[in-house]
Amino acid sequence: MNDNQMSKSIFLETLNGKKTERPPVWFMRQAGRVLPNYLKLREKHSFSELMHDPVLASEVTLMPVADLGVDAAILFSDILVIPVALGMKLNFTDSGPRFDKALRELADPVGYLQRDATQLDYIYRAIDEIVARKQEEIPLIGFCGGPFTTLCYMIQGLSSNHTFPDAVNLLYRDRKVFHQLMSTITELSVEYARNQVRHGVQAFQIFETHAGLLPADLYVREMVPYVSQIAAAVREEGVKAIFLPKGLGYGLKDLRPEVADFVSVDWQMPIQEARKLIDPAMGIQGNLDPRLLFGGKQEILGTLEKYLDFGSRNADWIFNLGHGFVPGIPYENARLVVEWIQEANWRRS
């Protein structure tokens, strides 16, 4: 990526420490869920089909740029592709993803995992297709799951119980096996992240959706080092890393710049308080409650107004949700947020 390409993107400029006239805006889970055009595609194709077909994956990835006007596209994929490439069989059901066999059912979960990185090749083909089709000034964000969150799903075997009791129990019962599994996931995630960058992603986000399941000090001490390995890999490839540790709370104060360039903040903490906690060397992303978008126009606009002062004082901020879009959010409300962010007076001189 050359400087001329970078200068055309308000998102990349912000990631790279440049002051821009407004904060960039994109949404987690923007490729789907609230977009009428996506829902039409889902009438004809399963989620898995959309992921595995490079043309369809490209279409869905770029759809929010056209339909919502966001400043960046994020790869249409899923965090559970890593377990599949480790030999686990996954089905996307109407009630969420489910593995044929959960690691909690196995006497030797470490030995059960058999790495086959070729299972990720279709994703690289999708990235190639996206890069070929997208406008040059629209950056592409790649991603993977945080190793702890990924392991939670692998141990539990399904996504319907988000307390993941068996995963947390394994951590306390058998640290050695738990960390062997974490290392296996991280090793493949590092390769996966590097390859995404080599195929053309221009920023990378690590989704640690379930960081809040553990005491903050335990999470920072034992799980963050794995995240840092993935972040280091993408940084070595020349792109910035964003880290979402959902639910970490006051543990944000213990994150160091080696874990990421930007920290994405959930909605449980005011953005102003999060900024005080997060190391000033790290930028910040977030943190609108996605459920607000079920509300009326005046309530949405009133909440957005509260971000103006923060946005005027903090040029190292990317506007986003505290987590992903919730199914059923009106498309018009998502569009309203983008238009407001792009048209508001952010008082940046």
The pLDDT of 254-274, averaged and rounded, is 97
Active-site position among 67, 71, 78, 266: 78
Residue 6 has pLDDT above 50, yes or no: no
Residue 181 has pLDDT above 80, yes or no: yes
Q: How far apart are CA 256 and CA 274, in angstroms?
A: 14
Q: Is residue 317 part of a domain?
A: yes
Q: Is residue 76 part of a domain?
A: yes
pLDDT of residue 4: 39
Q: How far apart are CA 101 and CA 245, in angstroms?
A: 27
Q: Is 3 one of the annotated active-site residues of the chain?
A: no
Residue 1 has pLDDT above 70, yes or no: no
Residue 3 has pLDDT above 60, yes or no: no
Q: Is residue 204 part of a domain?
A: yes
Q: Is residue 256 part of a domain?
A: no
Q: Is residue 19 part of a domain?
A: yes
Could you tell me the pLDDT band of residue 222, with boundaries at 50, 70 and 90? very high
Q: How far apart are CA 117 and CA 95, in angstroms?
A: 27
Q: Is residue 202 part of a domain?
A: yes
Of 94-108, 159-173, 243-257, the range with the highest mean pLDDT is: 243-257
pLDDT of residue 33: 83
The token duo for 336 is 């309203």
Active-site position among 38, 67, 153, 192: 153
Q: Is 153 one of the annotated active-site residues of the chain?
A: yes
235-257 pLDDT tens trace: 999 999 999 999 999 999 999 99
CA 144 to chain centre: 7
Q: Is 254 one of the annotated active-site residues of the chain?
A: no
Task: Kindly report the three-state secondary structure assignment for every residue of the chain.
Answer: CCHHHHHCCHHHHHHCCCCCCCCCECCCCCCCCCCHHHHHHHHHCCHHHHHHCHHHHHHHHHHHHHHCCCCCEECCCCCCHHHHHCCCCEEEECCEEEECCCHHHCCCHHHHCCCCHHHHHHHHHHHHHHHHHCCCCCCEEEEEECHHHHHHHHHHCECCCCCCHHHHHHHHHCHHHHHHHHHHHHHHHHHHHHHHHHHCCCEEEEEECCHHHCCHHHHHHHHHHHHHHHHHHHHHCCCEEEEEECCCHHHHHHCCHHHCCEEEECCCCCHHHHHHHCCCCCEEEECECHHHHHCCHHHHHHHHHCCHHHHHHCCCEEECECCCCCCCCCHHHHHHHHHHHHHCCCCCC
Residue scoring higher pLDDT (96 or 99): 99
150-159, 278-287, 290-299, 327-336: which has the minimum mean pLDDT?
150-159
Sign of CA dihedral 186, 191, 196, 198: positive
The pLDDT of 89-108, averaged and rounded, is 87
Q: Is 194 one of the annotated active-site residues of the chain?
A: no
19-36 pLDDT tens trace: 999 999 999 999 988 999
pLDDT of residue 5: 41
39-49 pLDDT tens trace: 999 999 999 99
The token duo for 65 is 């740029």
The pLDDT of 331-336, averaged and rounded, is 97
264-271, Cβ contacts within 8 angstroms, sequence gap of 24 or more:
264/28, 264/205, 264/320, 265/322, 266/322, 266/323, 267/321, 267/322, 267/323, 268/322, 271/307, 271/310, 271/317
Residue 294 has pLDDT above 80, yes or no: yes
Give the residue carrying structure tokens 């943190």. Answer: 287
Q: Could you tell me if 325 and 28 are in contact, meaning their C-beta atoms sit under 8 angstroms apart?
A: yes
Active-site position among 22, 33, 38, 226: 33
The pLDDT of 161-169, averaged and rounded, is 88
Confidence (pTM): 0.95
Residue 315 has pLDDT above 70, yes or no: yes
187-204 pLDDT tens trace: 999 999 999 999 999 999
Residue 162 has pLDDT above 90, yes or no: no
Q: How far is CA 130 from CA 53, 123, 125, 135, 303, in A?
A: 12, 10, 9, 9, 34
Q: Is 33 one of the annotated active-site residues of the chain?
A: yes
Q: Is residue 183 part of a domain?
A: yes
Residue 2 has pLDDT above 90, yes or no: no
174: CATH: 3.20.20.210
pLDDT of residue 161: 65
Q: Could you tell me if 263 and 15 are in contact, meaning their C-beta atoms sit under 8 angstroms apart?
A: no
Q: Is residue 126 part of a domain?
A: yes
How many domains in the chain? 1
Percent share of the chain, pLDDT over 90: 92
The pLDDT of 283-302, averaged and rounded, is 97
Domain hosting residue 191, numbered range: 3-242+290-343
- Give the bridge partners for 283, in sequence order: 262
Could you tell me the pLDDT band of residue 159, with boundaries at 50, 70 and 90? low
Give the residue carrying structure tokens 């195929």. Answer: 199
